[in-house]
């Protein structure tokens, strides 16, 4: 058994398909199939059931999942730690949605640097699909996101609720207008938004992240829903304005991490995230 076999196994598990795993790994589907065949031969059992819907784990595959994660994670940590200068004792990889890097996660990096300056922090931005895949593969220690999925061996923990508010480049807007920018905050937001604006036609502008909504509104005029803490500095500077009387939506933020890990600083990192999340909840409660 080798690392490539374990990575391939985890890629299929994360994507639910041999074909999608092959695309992700930049391999041919026959190479992916051959790796899994060798792995199954070595283990003496089938790991996947293949059907029209893709590939799902067998009971044996589910039992092997944690071992594959540990194998890949150990390899990642060995690569990172072996190359660390002597003054560093560990490394940590954290990825998060772009909006969570606006204020919240930079504060966490500062918290960690103050309390554990002998730890190398790898900071990354990603969407849920990529972050969850990396967590399943073991190449990411912590992921922060809005719409996580559940996977064996991973803990999904609620941190705090973002408050999404409607802001506009104009101070006198009453609601979404012709230049409204719909930001894709996920299915929960979609449902609440549709309920609040049942007669609103499909918007002409759609953005996949809040930062892009801000840039479009500032450059061309318009409105969009943003986390209140993300919008706050633009409102304070008079560049954006809260739309009076518009609805507010709670938008949960989660941290996802492995249930078991050999990383010696994971718990400390989580402690910092929880402390900052508690402060964020208190700030929201105060209004």
- CATH 1.10.10.10 positions along the chain are 3-74
- Provide the pLDDT for residue 287: 66
Residues 62 and 10: beta-carbon distance below 8 Å: no
CATH code linked to domain 78-159+253-286: 3.40.190.10
pLDDT of residue 72: 82
CATH number of 3-74: 1.10.10.10
The mean-pLDDT minimum among 10-14, 107-111, 204-208, 237-241 falls in 10-14
pLDDT digits (tens, 9 = 90+) for 100-138: 999 999 999 999 999 999 999 999 999 998 899 889 888
For the cut 70, the answer to whether the pLDDT of residue 77 exceeds it is no
pLDDT at 276 over 80: yes
pLDDT tens sequence across 79-110: 666 665 677 778 899 999 999 999 999 999 99
161-251: which CATH architecture?
A: 3-Layer(aba) Sandwich (3.40)
Task: Determine how β-strand 142-145 pairs with β-strand 90-96.
Answer: parallel
Q: Residues 145-153: what's their mean pLDDT?
A: 91
pTM of the model: 0.73
What are the phi and psi torsion angles at 139 (to 5°)? Answer: -95, 5
Q: Are 253 and 162 in contact (CB under 8 A)?
A: yes
């Amino acid at each position: 058994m080798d690392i490539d076999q374990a990575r391939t196994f985890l890629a299929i598990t994360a994507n639910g398909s041999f074909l999608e795993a092959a695309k992700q790994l930049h391999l041919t589907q026959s190479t992916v199939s051959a790796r899994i065949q060798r792995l199954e031969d070595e283990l003496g059992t089938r790991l996947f059931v293949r059907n029209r819907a893709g590939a799902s784990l067998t009971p044996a595959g589910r039992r092997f999942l944690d071992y594959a994660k540990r194998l890949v994670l150990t390899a990642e940590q060995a690569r990172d730690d072996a190359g660390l200068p002597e003054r560093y004792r560990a490394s940590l990889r954290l990825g998060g949605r772009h909006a969570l890097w606006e204020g919240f996660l930079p504060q966490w990096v500062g918290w960690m640097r103050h309390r554990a300056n002998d730890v190398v922090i790898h900071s990354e931005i990603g969407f849920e699909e990529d972050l969850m895949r990396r967590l399943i593969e073991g190449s990411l220690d912590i992921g922060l996101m809005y719409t996580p999925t559940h996977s064996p061996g991973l803990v999904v923990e609620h941190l705090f609720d973002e408050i999404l508010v409607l802001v506009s480049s104009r101070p006198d807007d009453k609601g979404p207008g012709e230049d409204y920018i719909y930001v894709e905050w996920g299915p929960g937001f979609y449902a609440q938004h549709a309920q609040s604006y049942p007669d609103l036609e499909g918007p002409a502008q759609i953005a996949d992240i809040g930062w892009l909504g801000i840039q479009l509104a500032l450059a061309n005029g318009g409105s969009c829903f943003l986390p209140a803490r993300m919008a706050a500095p633009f409102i304070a500077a008079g560049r954006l304005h809260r739309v009076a009387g518009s609805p507010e939506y709670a938008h949960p933020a989660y941290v996802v991490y492995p249930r078991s890990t050999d990383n010696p600083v994971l718990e400390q990192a989580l402690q910092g995230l929880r402390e900052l999340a508690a402060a964020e909840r208190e700030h929201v409660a105060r209004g």
